[in-house]
Amino acid sequence: MADTNAKLTVNGEEYELPIIKGTLGRPVIDIAALQDSGFWSYDPGFKVTAPVESKITYIDGGKGELLHRGYPIDQLANNAEYLEVAYALIHGDLPNAEQKADFFEKIRKHTGVHDQLRKFFEGFRRDAHPMAIMVGVVGALSAFYHDNLDVSNEEHREITAIRLIAKMPTLAAMSYKYSQGEPFMYPRNDFSYAENFLYMMFATPADVDYEPNDVVTRAMDKIFTLHADHEQNASTSTVRLAGSTGANPYACIAAGIAALWGPSHGGANEAVLEMLDEIGTVENVPAFMEKVKSREVKLMGFGHRVYKNFDPRAQVMKETCDEVLGALGINDPKLELAMALEKIALEDPFFVERNLYPNVDFYSGIILKAIGIPTSMFTVIFSLARTSGWISHWLEMHSAPFKIGRPRQLYTGETHRDFVKVEDRK
Ligand code: CMC
C-alpha cells in the first residue's frame, strides 16, 4: 500500500514516486514513473532493487532473521520435516495432519522417473560433474511433460510442483550413481524423503537392506530444510526470470540449477572442501589467511550478501554438525582443519570488521563430508532442497498477472560506425 511519495527531480522535472510498505522490512520506492523520464535506474548486482512482491520468505540480514511464511527457520529446522516446509512454502501455511498425509502421499507416488531418462544419463561422460548432469536431466523432464502442460492451469502447476519435489532426490542420486559407475537404485516409497535419498545414494543391488542411520537422516532432512528457500537470490531470480517468459517449468528449474552452480552461490559448499584440500594442514592456516587478506583468494563459506551479522541457518547447521560428528565418531583431519579455520576467522579483525561469519555452506559442507557424500554432490543436494523454494516462487508468479522480466542497461560500447569489408579491416 502506498503511504506517501518520494520526490525525485531530474533535469528540472519533478517525479512523485510512491513509497510502498510491505508487512516487514524496508519499504520500496516505486520508480515506474521514471519510464518517461528519459533515464533508467542503475543498480549492478541488484543491491537495492526489488523486482517482485512476494509473500514466501522474509530475511532481515541485520538481525540474522529468516522466516518462511512467517515461521522462523530455527523452529522449522528443529521441529518440522522438510516436506512440511515445502508444503508451507507452496501453500502459505504448515499443513494440518490431513493435508500433511495427503501431500506426503502425493510426493511418494511421484518419486519414480521415466525409464527412458536412463538413456539421457548414458549420454554423459562417465566422469561428468553431477551438477552438469542435473542441469541436463532436469531440463530433459520438460520433454516428458510439455505438450499436456498448461502453465495457466492451476492443477497442472500444482502437479508440476509435486513431480519436481518428488523426483529431485531420485535424479540427484542417479547423477551420483552414474558418476560412480554403479547401477541406479529405484526409490523405496516406504522410506521418508531424506531416508529415501540416502538409500538411493548408498544402497547397491548387493546391499539392498541398507538402512539409513537416524542421526544422519535427521541431519540430511535439516540440510534440506535450511536450503529450501532464500528469497530473491540469484537462482530463484533466474527461475522467475525464465518463468516470466511462460517457459516450461522444468526448463526454468534447470536454469535455476545452472545459476546455483557458481561458487559465489550454491557452489560454495563444494568450494569450502576444495579450499580445505588446498590449505592441507592447520599449520598452513596463517599463510592462507594472509592470501585472503591480500584478496588473492576468498575464504569460502564465509560472508553473505544479505546476512551481515550472522546466518541463522549456519547456527542450526553448526549444532547439527556437532551432533553428526559426535554420533559418527568422525576423526577426520579435514574437519579439524575446518574448525581451526572457523576459530581464527571469528577472532581475526579482518573478518570481524567486515562482519564475515561462517554461512550455511561452511557447516553443510563439513556435515556432508562426514556423512560420506562426495564433494561433487554438495551443490546437487542444495539444488534438490532449493527446488521447493524455486517452484514456490514460480507458482506465486503464475498465480497473478505478471510481466516478462526485461532489464535495461547503461550502454558504454561503440557508438555508430560503418561496416568495413573483411579485407579492409585492420
Ligand atoms: N573472504 C574474504 N573476504 C570477503 C569474503 C570472503 N568470503 N566475503 C566478502 N569479503 C570481503 C570483500 O573483499 C569486501 O572487502 P573490502 O570491503 O575490504 O573490499 C567485503 O568483505 C564486502 O564484501 P562484498 O564482496 O561487498 O560482499 P558481497 O555481499 O558482494 O558478497 C558473497 C557476498 C557471498 C558473494 C561473498 O561474501 C563471498 O564470495 N563469499 C564466499 C562464497 C560463499 O561462501 N558463498 C555462499 C553464500 S551462502 C549460500 C547462498 O545463499 O548462496
pLDDT tens string 186-206: 999 999 999 999 999 999 999
Distance CA 304, CA 356 (A): 7
Q: How many whole angstroms separate alpha carbon 254 and alpha carbon 257?
A: 5
Q: Render the burial of 359-390: b for 16+ CB within 10 Å, e for the rest.
A: bbbbbbbbbbbbbebbbbbbbbbbbbbbbbbb
The CA–CA distances, whole Å, from 49 to 122, 230, 239, 407, 408 equal 42, 16, 17, 11, 13
Q: Which residues of the chain have pLDDT under 50?
A: none
CA of 305 to the centre of ligand 1 (A): 7
Q: Are strands 28-29 and 57-60 parallel, antiparallel or unpaired?
A: unpaired
Which atom, in ligand 1's list, is nearest to the CA of 45?
30
Cα of 47 vs centre of ligand 1, distance in Å, is 13
Q: Which three cell numbers stand for residue 333?
A: 583431519
pLDDT at site 148? 78
Q: Ligand 1: distance of its center to the CA of 264 in Å?
A: 8
Task: Write b or e for each residue in 32-56: b if 16 or more Cβ atoms lie within 10 A of its Cβ, otherwise e.
Answer: eeeeeeeeeeeeeeeeeebeeebeb
Annotated catalytic residue 146: no
Rounded to whole angstroms, the Cα distance separating 331 from 4 reads: 59
Q: Given this model, what pLDDT does residue 163 score?
A: 96
> Is the CB of 352 within 6 Å of ligand 1?
no
pLDDT confidence of residue 3? 61
pLDDT at position 318: 87
In sequence order, what are the residues at sequence separation of 6 or more whose Cβ sits closer than 8 angstroms to the Cβ of residue 299? 275, 289, 292, 341, 345, 351, 356
Backbone conformation region of residue 14, classed left if phi is above 0, alpha if psi is from -120 to 50, else beta = beta
Counts for the chain of helices (H) and strands (E), in that order: 17, 6
292 CB within 6 A, ligand 1: yes
Place of cell 522410506: 191
Alpha carbons 232 and 239: distance in angstroms, whole number = 10
Check if 301 has its Cβ closer than 6 Å to any atom of ligand 1: yes
**304 flagged as catalytic:** yes
Question: pTM for this structure?
Answer: 0.90
User: Which atom of ligand 1 is least distant from the CA of 234?
Assistant: 52
The answer to whether residues 309 and 355 touch, using CB atoms and an 8 Å cutoff, is yes
Three-state DSSP class for residue 410 = coil
Query: Grid coordinates standing for 140?
Result: 530433459
Contact 230, 389 (CB under 8 A): yes
Q: Supply the residue whose CA is at minimum distance from atom 29 of ligand 1.
A: 305
- Compute, in angstroms, the gap from residue 137 CA to the centroid of ligand 1: 31
Q: How far is CA 393 from the centre of its chain?
A: 12
For ligand 1, atom 49: residue with the closest CA: 265
